[in-house]
Structure 1
Amino acid sequence: MSVVTSVYTQLYNNSMQAGHTLFNLAVTATKPVSHDLYPGVDVASLNIFEKLWMDWYLYWGNPIIATGIMAFLMHEVVYFGRCIPWVIIGQIRYFDQYKLQETKIPTARQQWECTKMVLKTHFSVELPQIYLFHPMAASVGMKAHEVPFPKIGTIFYQLALFFVMEDAWHYFAHRILHHKRLYKHIHKMHHEFSAPFGLAAEYAHPIEVMVLGLGTVGSPLLWCWLSGGNMHLITMYIWIMLRLFQAIDAHSGYDFPWSLNKILPFWAGADHHDYHHQSFADCYSTSFRWLDALFGTDKKYHAFRSNQRAEKAAKKAGGGKAQ
């Protein structure tokens, strides 16, 4: 743990220096509003969201800085905004009936320590990557400041594709991280919580954050390159939001009757991923169940859940007879 702490401390200190430099760049690079970025754009034809997008980039005047600030703020607001409801749910005893590991309730101290480490990760690992994203996106032809946005249908099919691509990357990369040598030095940190909770979704070693994050960020970049630049940054933002929701919900530790996996049987959900944390093995996918089913890494999960259902049924039957 001391090694991990020292790594984070070094990364954190470096990121603070980098953050100071980036802030100065943001201030010096800001220039009076001009229409240099949008020659010939018919503003009257744009919707309210496209106009706001345009105003943001015009305000900053530098697309790299504008994208970096927006992306980081969006990530923080969505991540912690989605975690807060799960923290509240954890304090309401009514919802204990839906807790997958009902006897393991995270303490306030655990959640606070987790939050501090996640924030260190965000500033030391993810912030630099976020600022590097715009140049990488531009190199593969992704549209960033441009308006108008793509059609809804285009956004939808690309989002579906990214879910499939990321799930495949995560499955195999996750299995590799469970190799005994990599697990001991890297992935073990994420498994400190055998009964996960929402805030722990990004509680991980810096190397793991970068490796698994490559599936989230790299999938859209690869698609954009293969499709000849047929992608817009707004699609990337929506994808990141959905991916954060998926990761946080999968770590929530709750499985409700209205959970998405009850509607879409192939969706993994918390029920699937919670078992992975509980058993420290199997169920390696993020969003879907089909790769675990294909490679047989969900057999123990199904046996475990089957035994749970049998025990609950027997307990209920026994209670009925006693009455």
Structure 2
Amino acid sequence: MASAMLNSTITGLNSTGSYYSVLEDVAKYNVQLNWAERLWAAWYLWMQNDVLATGILSFVMHEVVYFGRSLPWIIIDAIPFFNKYKIQNTKVPTWKEQWDCAALVLLSHCTVELPQIWLFHPIATYFGLDYGVPFPKWTTMAFQIVCFFIIEDAWHYWFHRGLHYGPLYKNIHKLHHTYSAPFGLAAEYASPIEAMLLGFGVVGTPVLWVSIVGDLHLLTMYTWIVLRLFQAIDAHSGYDFPWSLRKLMPFWAGADHHDLHHEKFIGNYSSSFRWWDWVLDTQAGEEANKKRRERKLAQIRAKKAQ
């Protein structure tokens, strides 16, 4: 059955017939809703199965966004003009590497992530997730998404750093490091265990939020996931442009931060921000190593002077 929340908001409707006939009824009897809210409400009313409606919407959204956002980077990799912006510009991925990566990622989406997507709706709604209309205010959504970025970044740092521990790296995380020069499609190129561990930070953070705060809408969840996918794919793109976001927000990780992690295989464990690596001294690269050596030498000299 369609959700009670939708039924209590949408009136004068017959949910039988085609999706477009339901949409016409929603628009006719609920003029207070905007066009996006009408499309949303009509989808759930037409499906008459909320778990199925959310599951299809979630899976299609994830695939369209992931491969759609990766496509520009595939095109850029094929255009020599952009090579000057490539961080490791001697390691442009081949078509075969791109294809093999896409095939494994799609297989993972259909076998590992799909069951989790079907379980999301009943679990999230149990904890209080709202998926009715009208939609929440954009200010509310923006505040919650900023919180999600901060919380997930902490989760990602510690679990990602843990996955670099010997046995865990060898048996779980090594697959993700197949490409020392990452590219967009490789953002979710990972073992099933890693996909679940790090993916829980993305999906589990909002669920934890609504279970504590009691206020979260599915649209906010979708917006957060879209932005996090953009961040992950762009961080793996291997390109650092003059207009990259990190130039405007120095605390933003960006492609240069994560590309160095893949090149050196250690350090720079954060996902979205740089502060965890900075505070805990896990920055990667020659400059960071030089500063660490200088600090150690200064400590040695200070001890000798005592």
Name the TM tier (shorter chain): 0.7 to 0.9
Q: Please tell me the root mean square deviation across aligned C-alpha atoms, in Å.
A: 1.8
What stretches of structure 1 of length at least 5 have no aligned partner?
1-30, 307-323
Conserved in 1, the CA contact under 8 Å of 2:264 and 2:285? no
Matching of residues 193-272 of structure 1 within 5 Å:
193-228=179-214, 230-272=215-257
Rounded Cα–Cα distance in structure 2 between residues aligned with 1:259 and 1:36: 42
2: CA distance, partners of 1:55 / 1:305: 59
1:149 aligns with 135
1:269-293 Cα shifts (integer Å, max 9, x gaps): 0000000000000000000000000
- CA–CA distance in 1 between the matches of 2:48 and 2:150? 36
1:39 lines up with 2:1 in the alignment: no
- Superposed counterparts of 1:126-141, under 5 Å: 126-141=113-128
- Quick check: 2:6–2:133 contact (8 Å CA) kept in 1? no
Change (3 A) 1:53 1:185: same
Query: TM-score if structure 1 supplies the norm length?
Result: 0.82
Q: Is the 8 A contact 1:275 1:301 kept in 2?
A: no
Cα distance in 2 for residues equivalent to 1:305 and 1:154: 43
CA distance in 2, matches of 1:288, 1:232: 25
- 1:235 is matched by which residue type in structure 2? T
Where does residue 78 of structure 2 map in the other structure? Answer: 91
Q: Which amino acid aligns with 1:134?
A: H
Structure-2 change in CA distance of 1:35 and 1:282 (3 Å): closer
- Percent identical among aligned pairs is 57
Question: Structure 1 pair 59/250, CA: closer, same or farther in 2 (3 Å)?
Answer: same
Q: Which amino acid letter does the alignment assign opposite residue 147 of structure 2?
A: L
Question: Which of structure 1's runs of 4+ aligned residues deviate more than 6 A?
Answer: 33-36
Aligned to 1:16: none
AA paired with 1:271? Answer: D
- Following TM superposition, by how much is the alpha carbon of 1:34 offset from its aligned partner in structure 2, in angstroms? 11
Q: Which residue of 1 is the match for residue 262 of structure 2?
A: 277
| The one of 271, 278, 287 aligned to 1:293 | 278
Give yes or no for contact 1:282–1:301 (8 Å, CA) kept in 2: no
Alpha-carbon shift at residue 40 of structure 1 (Å)? 4.4
Aligned equivalents of 1:305, 1:269: Cα separation in 2:
22
**Hey, what's the Cα distance between the residues in 1 that align with 2:147 and 2:252?**
15
What is the identity, as a one-letter code, of the residue corresponding to 1:239?
W
Match for 2:180: what amino acid? S
CA distance in 1, matches of 2:241, 2:285: 22
Q: Secondary structure at the match of 1:73?
A: helix
Measure how far apart 1:302 and its partner are.
3.5
Preserved contact between residue 3 and residue 50 of structure 2 (Cα < 8 Å): no
Q: What SS does structure 2 have at the residue aligned with 1:82?
A: helix
3-state SS, counterpart of residue 43 of structure 2: helix
Q: 1:301 to 1:131 in 2, by over 3 A?
A: farther
CA contact (8 A) 2:264 2:284 kept: no
More displaced, 170-179 or 293-302?
Answer: 293-302
**Structure-2 separation of matches of 1:290 and 1:74:** 31
* Aligned-residue offset at 1:41: 3.5
Amino acid in the other structure paired with 2:154: A
**Quick one: distance in 2 between partners of 1:36 and 1:123?**
30
**Residues 305 and 98 of structure 1: is their aligned pair in 2 closer, same or farther, counting only changes over 3 Å?**
farther
In the other structure, the counterpart of 2:153 is: 167
CA–CA separation in structure 1 for the residues paired with 2:140 and 2:4: 27
TM-score where L is the length of structure 2 = 0.86
Please state if 1:122 is matched with 2:109: yes
**Aligned pairs, number:** 273
Match of 2:171 among 185, 199, 203: 185
Deviations 1:138-187 (A, max 9, x none): 1110012x100000100000000000010000000001100000000000
For the Cα contact (< 8 Å) 1:283–1:301, is it kept in 2? no
Match of 1:102 among 62, 71, 89: 89
How many angstroms apart in 2 are the aligned matches of 1:64 and 1:208? 26
Q: What do residues 69-103 of structure 1 show as CA deviations (whole Å, max 9, x unaligned)?
A: 00000000000000000000011111000000010
Mapped partners of 1:64, 1:217: distance in 2? 16
Equivalents in 1 of 2:207, 2:136: separation in Å?
A: 16
> What's 1:22 paired with?
none
